[in-house]
Structure 1
Amino acid sequence: MAGCASLTESTEQNVLVQTVLDHREIAGVGCVLYNDAGKWFVTTPARLTLRKSSGPLRIDCAKNGKGWAYEKVDARADGNLWGNLALTAGVGYIVDKNTGAGYDYPAVLTVVMHPAQEKEEGPPPAAGVTLF
Structure 2
Amino acid sequence: MSIRIFSLAFACLAVTGCASITNDTTAPVRFEAFDAAGVEVKDADCKLENDYGVQTVKTPATFNVRRSSKDLQITCVKAGEADGRGVAISRANGGMAGNILFGGGIGAIIDHNKGTAYTYPQWIQIVMGKLLTFDRKVDVEGKPNRGEEIVAPVASK
* Common fold: TM-score over 0.5: yes
Higher helix share: 2
- Per-residue deviation, 1:90: 2.4
Partner residue of 1:19 out of 11, 30, 33:
33
Counterpart residue type for residue 127 of structure 2: V
Aligned Cα root-mean-square deviation (Å): 1.6
Question: Does the CA-based 8 Å contact 1:85-1:91 persist in structure 2?
Answer: no
Which blocks of at least 5 consecutive residues in structure 1 are unaligned?
116-132
TM-score normalised over the length of structure 2: 0.66
| Number of residue pairs matched by the alignment | 113
- Please state whether the residue corresponding to 2:80 is helix, strand or coil: coil
Q: What residue is the counterpart of 2:44 in the other structure?
A: 29
Q: 1-side partners of 2:104 and 2:80: how far apart?
A: 54
Whether 1:9 and 2:47 are equivalent positions in the alignment is no
> Deviations 1:5-32 (Å, cap 9, x if unpaired)?
1122111111111001122211121110
Whether 1:51 and 2:70 are equivalent positions in the alignment is no
Deviates more, 1:48-57 or 1:106-115: 106-115
Partner residue of 1:38 out of 38, 53, 70:
53
Which blocks of at least 5 consecutive residues in structure 2 are unaligned?
1-16, 131-157
Q: 1-side partners of 2:98 and 2:62: how far apart?
A: 30
Q: Map of 1:1-132 to 2, 5 A cutoff? A: 4-22=18-36, 23-88=38-103, 90-114=105-129
Higher strand share: 1
- Per-residue deviation, 1:80: 1.8
- Per-residue deviation, 1:56: 0.4
- Per-residue deviation, 1:89: 5.0
TM-score normalised over the length of structure 1: 0.78
Instruction: From the CA coordinates, give the structure whose radius of gyration is larger.
Output: 1
> Deviations 1:22-52 (Å, cap 9, x if unpaired)?
2221112111001111211111111211211
Q: 1-side partners of 2:77 and 2:66: how far apart?
A: 23
